[in-house]
Structure 1
């Protein structure tokens, strides 16, 4: 494939190719890159004695992204599948404790000495796998999965291409973020050539909302405020706001783009209480302001211009503290 970055490491190809009953895992509250990567991997490696399943606990899918599993029709791993698995392929996940394995297994040794392959593009990845491939310059984990499949000689069907295209498209915000790279654009072009359904994905991912998602957006717009002379914009949604709109924690994803869209904003934040008593923070910086260090102050992680954190305090106790930290952080720029 032309204009692509380096191929997948041989040890990654061999480790994944040697598994016969793998469970493919992504991070909690999976976005389109996480879902597209695990679905594509499971589809591409299915057959010839290999029967992958994906970790997808109840409540993992947002309304907006549920169609991806409807399309892929990948089998979901249950507790028995975890016990019988001969390995785990973890994608788009910076820390092992962020793996989307369900509340009943999250605090257990669910890998239990079996090999863990860790493939990711987050700057803060802790290299928790037995074999690790972390490329922070990649546009998305979907781009890395494409490199893996092509280097391993695995088939990339139109459905696999669609799953991966969804990941590249959304993780670059429609090829508009600083993470958009020549290799990411080349990957997208290759996925289109391989049959990705660009038009339908565009409708589903960019131009379709349920009434409850629309109602939640109205709340985010109404709650948006500014600080630091207008250079910071942030919005909030309480547990009652989210559930009252008919949404859940899984539906909180890219609504941070609302405060980010205000002219003159250099740092944007979305603070939400999707789960009672816990505040999730999404941070976004413009091309000059990095937010990873700010997220790390709250034990979070992510990328230089897009990061997040979860704090074990209610929203009402969190907003003032986080806004103050953001104001101080912005003074560096």
Structure 2
């Protein structure tokens, strides 16, 4: 496979060596398992699908797996029907790609089985607390893993098809908050522009991702917004989603994706959080920040992680206890001026 210079701020010999290692593994092997984190978002799904199309282009056999269902707004993406939620016979797998997942626990319940595959190739833009993998390409400067998949495609010399392009575009669109987050760079915009030149229609994609919800999802949003409270003189906004809400609205936890952006949009709110009850007694907390607030540092206090402006963690117990512990830690960090308040 031909290698090309990756036009990235970290375009170093080490980076090129990692990319070349990945190319060699692709050349040497045939059947690849591709997976991502639990409760996959647009970057996870788009990157997974684009990577699958790349491997097919190169004459390989990709097997795409996610533990959780694909949220309804991404079911229009080319290749999504190929994603399975049951593991194949792992003895037939030559290597495993783990995308957009910097912590092996976020692979899900099957993590221990998948980690037995050799080699594990991790491509991510999160600085996870649980480094894993035999080959790891981690670039926290990337706005989305979709950017890294794009550069890998370029490195292999493959032509970017429309199916690759639309999945890369959705990966970048969703992980940048429609190009609103601070992670959006000129590199990000150039890649998006190239995907548009390859046939992606931004208005149509935007409508499919953000204007294609069910009435039940809006009922769930209404219930979640009814829990909205602000703290610390309006600088912190918090909402929650319970299992009772999901049952009452006939929705799933995947329907709550991006709800955290609603409290974040309130004037004066610098840190937003949503506490989601993913199972009885188990919770997922998503954090979004702006104005110099380090959401990742806060998440790390609870064993999680992520980006400066977007992070999260998981916890067990009851919702009120988790909320109070979160608010207490926010207060401590504010007092110590450790997150930029």
Q: TM-score, normalised by structure 2?
A: 0.90
Paired residues for 1:1-333 under 5 Å: 4-5=7-8, 6=11, 9-46=19-56, 49-57=59-67, 59-68=68-77, 72-76=80-84, 78-100=86-108, 103=109, 105-106=110-111, 108-124=112-128, 126-331=130-335, 332=337, 333=341
Contact preservation (8 Å) 1:87, 1:111: no
RMSD: 2.1
Deviation at 1:3, TM superposition (A): 9.6
Deviates more, 1:6-15 or 1:118-127: 6-15
Distance 1:244 1:233 in 2: 24
Change (3 A) 1:269 1:36: same
Which one has more relative contact order, counting CA pairs under 8 Å at least 6 apart? 1
Distance 1:20 1:317 in 2: 49
Distance 2:142 2:113 in 1: 30
Change (3 A) 1:114 1:221: same
Deviates more, 1:218-227 or 1:142-151: 218-227
Aligned length: 327
Deviation at 1:113, TM superposition (A): 4.7
Q: TM-score, normalised by structure 1?
A: 0.92
1:230 is paired with a residue whose SS is: coil
Deviation at 1:216, TM superposition (A): 1.2
Unaligned runs of 5+ in 1: none
Contact preservation (8 Å) 2:69, 2:85: no
Distance 1:75 1:172 in 2: 24
Deviation at 1:315, TM superposition (A): 1.3
Contact preservation (8 Å) 1:162, 1:198: no
Contact preservation (8 Å) 1:269, 1:284: yes
Distance 2:26 2:59 in 1: 13
Deviation at 1:133, TM superposition (A): 0.6
Change (3 A) 1:197 1:318: same
Unaligned runs of 5+ in 2: none
Deviation at 1:77, TM superposition (A): 6.8
